[in-house]
Amino acid sequence: MSESNIEMDNGSTSQKNTGEPSIVYKNIDVKTELESLVKLLDGKIYKEEEIAMEELHQYLIEDDGCWALSDNFLNFVGRIFKDMSFSPETRIHLIRALACAALNDDIIILLHQDRKEHTLMNFANDFDKQSPDEQRAWGTFMCNLFENPSSSEWLLYISEWQYNNQNISNLTVTTKVTVHCLLSNCPTLKDIGTSILFNLAIKDVKTVVFDDVAVELTMAILQFFNSNPSEVLVYRALRALVRFMEVSKDVGSFIQMIGPHPKTFLGMSERIDELVNLVISKIPV
Q: What is the mean pLDDT of the chain?
A: 90
Mean pLDDT of 28-56: 96
H helix or E strand, kind and range, residue 160: strand 160-163
**H or E element in which residue 166 lies:** strand 166-169
pLDDT on residue 174: 96
Give the model confidence (pLDDT) of 246-259 as tens digits: 888 888 888 888 87
Enter the DSSP assignment of 69.
S
Query: What does each C-alpha distance from 152 to 60, 186, 218 come to in angstroms?
Result: 20, 25, 20
Digit-coded pLDDT (tens) for 138-187: 999 999 999 999 999 999 999 999 999 999 999 999 999 999 999 999 99
With a CB cutoff of 8 Å and minimum separation 6, the contacts of 212 are: 158, 171, 172
Residue 1: per-residue pLDDT = 29
3, pLDDT greater than 70: no
pLDDT at residue 96, as a whole number: 98
**What share of the chain in percent tops pLDDT 70?**
91
In the chain, which ranges are continuous DSSP H helix? 30-41, 47-60, 73-82, 88-101, 107-113, 119-125, 132-144, 149-154, 170-182, 187-201, 207-211, 214-225, 231-247, 250-258, 270-282
Whether 205 has a pLDDT exceeding 70, the answer reads: no
Q: What is the mean pLDDT of residues 94-114?
A: 97
Residue 68 has pLDDT above 50, yes or no: yes
Task: State percent of the chain over pLDDT 90.
Answer: 77
User: pLDDT confidence of 206, banded at 50, 70, 90?
Assistant: low
Interval 207-243: pLDDT, tens = 556 777 898 999 999 999 999 999 999 999 999 999 9
DSSP lists the bridge partners of residue 13 as 23
The yes-or-no verdict on residue 15 having pLDDT over 70 is: no
Higher pLDDT, 23 or 248: 23
- Residue 10 pLDDT > 50, yes or no? no
Please determine, looking at this structure, whether the domain spanning 3-26+103-282 carries the CATH number 1.25.10.
yes
Give the per-residue pLDDT at 49: 95
